Structure 1
Amino acid sequence: MNLLLTDPFSLSQDYPENLTHILNYGRSTCLKFNRKGDYLASGLFDGSVIVFDFDTYGIARVLRGHTRPITSLSWSRDGRYLLSGSRDWLCILWDLKDGKRVKTVRFEAPIWGAELHPYSHQIFVVSLFEDAPTLVDFTDGTIRKHLLNDVAFAKTSSGDDEENASGSPSPENQQEVQEKQSTLVATFTTSGQYIFTGTSKGWLNIIDSESFQTVRSERITTSNIKHIAFSSSGKQFIINSSDRTIRLFNTPDLSYTDPNNWELSVIHRFQDVVNRLQWNSITFNSNGDYVLASTYQDQHDIYIWETEVGSLVKIIEAPREEIVDVQWHPNRPLIAATGLDKGTIYVWATVTPQQWSALAPDFVEVDENVEYEEREDEFDVIPDEIANKRRLDQEDEDDVDVVTIERVRGEFSDESFVIPVILDEEEETFEDSDSD
């Protein structure tokens, strides 16, 4: 009964083209949609975190606890908890029900990035500046930090005969790569069983999230690996490196117990061969059909490639501001991006005409004015008794369902946490938080 009043034939446009909204609240440094897409979190340069209600573009929460710029944001699966990482060496887990801090974890270096486990808000992985990546677990109430190995492993000379088709050795024939390198990015797979990390020397390390051991290393490039992103289905992932190339991979079948059976081969390479552009941020669209990337420095564009054949389908011209972070809405053809200079949030979306004829069965849309011919009894005075009887008879005939929620195509199907409105919110001091 509550289907959107939009023309279903207009939904064929599956990537946005028009700049529809501009959000200004502080200087934004990073963005993140929740899983349903009804809230957008924005980390600010002053250390605050703003949560926007994306239906009304109003502010649902203002979270203050950091003292330096926010570098990363991560939502829990149900959308109730939000993890923020900052250059002040802190990661804070927020409960959006009341805006309070659940946990505050201090590290020994600034935060590159932090990401929550896909199925638990009490586990997260963090990549640190010139320090080993760390898995944090406080499921039992006590904060435990597990250092992850940030060195790569290569086959020994005795393991040449046991090398598999992808060029990786068996685990018993591995040795550490004696290169000074640091982990720049760490992210969970969609199942949370493994952690993919990228190093400053171009190595992709796959780490078991339970044993904390590196089970596979692959040399992807000789440059820094800056970003790793998985599609929503987890079947593909992309890697952004400093060699100006974005590489698309099919996610290997991680159910194989022997990591040598995991095939890691590049499906497509996305790059600008003419201008040789660097890329600031990368992401997939909601169903993994497109890859999105924002350009670095002089250019102010957002490139969209399709993943089937790897062709460029659209270049969105951004305002005269370098785009540092870009996010695709989880369920709609909508892009949110933030600029470097002013920290303004730009929103691109498809403009779909409203189908007003859906308001009533007899509603007719006309291109020009027409002369209306009234019915003979249209304006007759009807006694109240007869009018009420007609109305009651009509209500008895019509069975109105006010409980069932009908889903439109592409709409999120799972239940999600709704941030309650706090009318009298008290300021929380930093000392009240649980820190380690």
Structure 2
Amino acid sequence: MNLSLLDPFAVAKEYPDILAQTLAYGHSTQVRYSYKGDYLASGLIDGIILIIDTDTNSTIQVLRDHTRAITSLTWSSCGRYLLSSSKDWKVNLWDLGTCKVIRSYNFEGPVWCSVMNPQNHFQFVAALVDNDAVFADLENEPKIAKLDTNPLGQPNTVKQSTLTATMTPDSNYIFTGTSKGWLNVIDTHSLQIVRSLNVCSSNIKNIEISPNCSKLAVNSSDRIIRQYTMPDTSAPIEDWEFELENRYQDAVNRLQWNALKFNHNSEYMCASTLGATHDVYIWETGMGSLVKILEGSNDELLAVDWNYRKCSIVATTMDTGTLFIWSVVIPQKWSALAPDFEEIEENIDYEEKEDEFDYVDEDDMNKQIEEEGDVIDVIQREKVDARGFPFVDSFVIESVPVSE
């Protein structure tokens, strides 16, 4: 569909509003969109990973190596590599050009989650069950380094474990969350804790950094999501300040939040629920106000991801593993082609004007265009699309027939 024919006000909408479709491709436990939003990776409970084309909603690749439930998925920025972790104690790096595992490492226990280094797809951080988190480099010989869990300046008398981890977009720092509510900032080069923040006294379940690196959200098991200002990572660590901006909670239903995600400019944030309701909540992060509740699921929701380029949100359910996709239904608006184009509801008899189809001299037309100064460049490629998003060159995954 030509983007010029769409309602510009509808296209500019930042969040989806209706349930568009459901996909039942096995029992999904984790979902993740590629950076360009062309593909959706769905990790199943039996260890299989499906690559789904978001335009056709068809499965184009099936990745088989894990033997137990997938716990996390991370795409590389180019869209060619995919990092997966599983309860089978293994972390795999997939090359989607061949759809084969090019790097793999077996740990001594199940993996809570793993996240790829945004600047080097051979490096990742993994949070392990009943063990310290690790930083791994698999480019040549595997190099595994354990990351400290005890917060900076705190005694070692209290036993803690790392439950979740993420990395800043510039890959200079690692953020980890502990079972005692501490947020640790680790320098990627020295692998030492350089800053610690006591967020709460309960488990930290998720840490999410917005794509533009302006906000930080921490989800804990005390049923509160805390939103902080993200400090400038290029500044000295001594100047960092984490200012608490908003606290998100449902005091009536006492909902637990399973997963959360920012949109591209961090103006909105969504979270999946665990409890009495089975919805996705969307907040405006400036004032912390609730703007939309996405309904439609009959099961409790687990993983959630936001495809802001196509304005859709996907979530997977706990009991059935069905994928629920909320999107925006955009009506065609032909009047966007010209300001004097008028849409009509039914056919009418049109009477043409006397000079409507008179001959226009081409030289006079070109002279008028030159005087107005409107020169249309048809050679250079646009830097942004019709919605204002920069164009991203993404790897094209070969589609193969998938048997039932």
What TM-score do you get using the length of structure 1 for normalisation? 0.81
2-side partners of 1:11 and 1:335: how far apart? 15
* 1:318 and 2:296 matched: yes
2-side partners of 1:367 and 1:126: how far apart? 58
Letter in 2 for 1:240: N
1:188: which partner in 2? 167
1-side partners of 2:378 and 2:285: how far apart? 42
Q: Following TM superposition, by how much is the alpha carbon of 1:356 offset from its aligned partner in structure 2, in angstroms?
A: 4.1
1:169: which partner in 2? none
2:361: which partner in 1? none
Letter in 2 for 1:256: A
2:242: which partner in 1? 264
Q: Following TM superposition, by how much is the alpha carbon of 1:27 offset from its aligned partner in structure 2, in angstroms?
A: 0.6
Contact 1:331 1:412 in 2 (8 A): no
1:145-190: CA deviation from partner (whole Å, max 9, x where unpaired): 1111111122xxxxxxxxxxxxxxxxxxxx5342111000011011
Q: How many residues align?
A: 379
Q: Following TM superposition, by how much is the alpha carbon of 1:333 offset from its aligned partner in structure 2, in angstroms?
A: 2.5
RMSD: 2.5
Letter in 1 for 2:223: R
Q: Following TM superposition, by how much is the alpha carbon of 1:311 offset from its aligned partner in structure 2, in angstroms?
A: 1.1
Q: 1:276 to 1:297 in 2, by over 3 A?
A: closer
2:197: which partner in 1? 218
2-side partners of 1:361 and 1:295: how far apart? 44
2:209: which partner in 1? 230
2:107: which partner in 1? 107
Contact 1:40 1:51 in 2 (8 A): yes
* 1:246 and 2:225 matched: yes
Q: Following TM superposition, by how much is the alpha carbon of 1:360 offset from its aligned partner in structure 2, in angstroms?
A: 10
1:152: which partner in 2? 151
Q: Following TM superposition, by how much is the alpha carbon of 1:411 offset from its aligned partner in structure 2, in angstroms?
A: 3.3
Q: Secondary structure at the match of 1:10?
A: helix
1:119-152: CA deviation from partner (whole Å, max 9, x where unpaired): 111111000101111111123x211111111111
Q: 1:357 to 1:119 in 2, by over 3 A?
A: same
Q: 1:48 to 1:142 in 2, by over 3 A?
A: same
1:68-120: CA deviation from partner (whole Å, max 9, x where unpaired): 00010000110100011000000111111121111111101101001100111
1:205: which partner in 2? 184
Letter in 2 for 1:152: P
Is the radius of gyration larger for structure 1 or structure 2?
1
Q: Following TM superposition, by how much is the alpha carbon of 1:298 offset from its aligned partner in structure 2, in angstroms?
A: 2.6
2-side partners of 1:14 and 1:2: how far apart? 19
What TM-score do you get using the length of structure 2 for normalisation? 0.88
1:177-225: CA deviation from partner (whole Å, max 9, x where unpaired): 4211100001101110010000000011111111111111111100000
Q: Secondary structure at the match of 1:9?
A: helix
1:274: which partner in 2? 252
Contact 2:49 2:64 in 1 (8 A): yes
2:21: which partner in 1? 21
Instruction: State how 1:57-206 maps to structure 2 within 5 Å.
Output: 57-139=57-139, 141-154=140-153, 175-206=154-185
* 1:342 and 2:341 matched: no
1-side partners of 2:24 and 2:272: how far apart? 20
2-side partners of 1:340 and 1:117: how far apart? 29
1:409: which partner in 2? 387
Contact 2:79 2:394 in 1 (8 A): yes
Contact 1:186 1:195 in 2 (8 A): yes
Contact 1:26 1:44 in 2 (8 A): yes
1-side partners of 2:349 and 2:292: how far apart? 46
1:430: which partner in 2? none
Q: Following TM superposition, by how much is the alpha carbon of 1:290 offset from its aligned partner in structure 2, in angstroms?
A: 0.9
